[in-house]
Amino acid sequence: MTTNPAYKTDDQRWAAVQARDPAADGQFVYAVRTTGVYCQPSSTTRLPKRENVEFFDSPQNAEAAGYRYSRRAHGSQTSAAAERAAIVARACRLIETSETPPSLDTLAAAVGKSPFHFHRLFTAETGLTPKAYSSAYRARRLREELSSPDTTITNAIYDSGFNSNSRFYEASEQLLGMRARDYRAGGAGAVIRFAVGQCSLGAILVAQSQRGICAILLGDDPDQLVRDLQDQFPKAEIIGCDGEFEQLIAQVVGFIETPSIGLHLPLDVQGTAFQERVWRALCEIPPGVTVSYTDIAERIGSPKAVRAVAQACANNHIAVAIPCHRVVRRDGDLAGYRWGVDRKRELLRREVQD
């Protein structure tokens, strides 16, 4: 076997193991002295300490040195798992390259599955239904097209998968949270109503667009929260609201103080397809329960995307309603939190006690 120059040195090989690089599979294997097993570089098993690792050019060399193949690693990379991943990847590429969103029957036929089994498989692997994935992809494409100064709105409509203006305008507000020309102008024309209040965790700002709650911000300085909202929607019309709107903020404050009452408000959630998968998974975590970033990555079918999961949590603008405070490090450490670790600790304490 000829070794790729990119994996020639031990430092290069260790970097590939840390990145779980599938391109390195077949180039070498790594063995763990403390467990007596060896794995492929892309193995999703827990990373060992560097001082316990040695590298071999082939599985045969590792076995000759007394190591055995990791059954746990083998279980995480069975041919069935690889086949499922390949089917979903093929369907995703078909969705992304089709001029108009393909139907469930079309997708299922393309991968050789019944619509029922394909729908279940796709949802289990990605955390989204095929239709939801298609909508999220179109929304991202639409935002990208509208952000280009060289593209007309008409071209953006067709390039993002709409085959008529009428169908686009039926869905545009749901996809963008505002009219296309308003989105293109950086939110100009959109109306964001907000109110600022106080709770036991400090200042709180709640903002609402035409579609629902678009921001719940926590902090120490009310003025800074307003500036943060303005930065989030730089060209929207930001309106401080009256006592009637403050009833909405009272609901949020009540939920923060007593989590058991729940929070049932329409949300205006706008993110990439990946972020929306993460945020949907966060909303499925029961109050009082914590999970790790690794757990969330596995739940959404992207076990290698732990850092991207953490970034999606950091990009969440809707505190408590999308409960990123329930995600901790693998060792149980609270790690970072957009609105401060002390607030995160207190929110979790209240949920356990409530």
Tell me, yes or no, if 324 is annotated catalytic: yes
Which single residue is written with the structure tokens 């409530």?
354
Identify whether 39 is a catalytic site residue: yes
One DSSP character per residue, 70-122 reads: -HHHHHHT-HHHHHHHHHHHHHHHHHHHSSSPPPHHHHHHHHT--HHHHHHHH
Residues in the chain: 354
Q: How far apart are CA 118 and CA 124, in angstroms?
A: 10
Among residues 39, 92, 214, 313, the one annotated as catalytic is 39
The residue to which tokens 């000759």 are assigned: 64
Question: What is d(CA 268, CA 175) in angstroms, rounded to the nearest whole number?
Answer: 10
Catalytic entry in 92, 214, 313, 324 = 324
In this structure, what DSSP letter does residue 261 have? G
Tell how strand 191-199 and strand 68-69 pair up. Answer: unpaired
Q: Which residues is 56 bridged to in the sheet? A: 29
Residues 238/192, Cβ–Cβ less than 8 Å:
yes
Nearest C-alpha neighbor of 265 from the set 277, 252, 283 = 252
Packing angle, helices 115-126 and 104-111, rounded to 10: 90
- Which phi-psi region, left, alpha or beta, contains residue 126 (left: φ > 0; alpha: ψ -120 to 50)? alpha
- Per the DSSP assignment, residues forming a β-bridge with 73 are none
Quick one: which of 343, 135, 98, 58 has its CA closest to 219? 343
- Positions annotated as catalytic residues are 39, 324
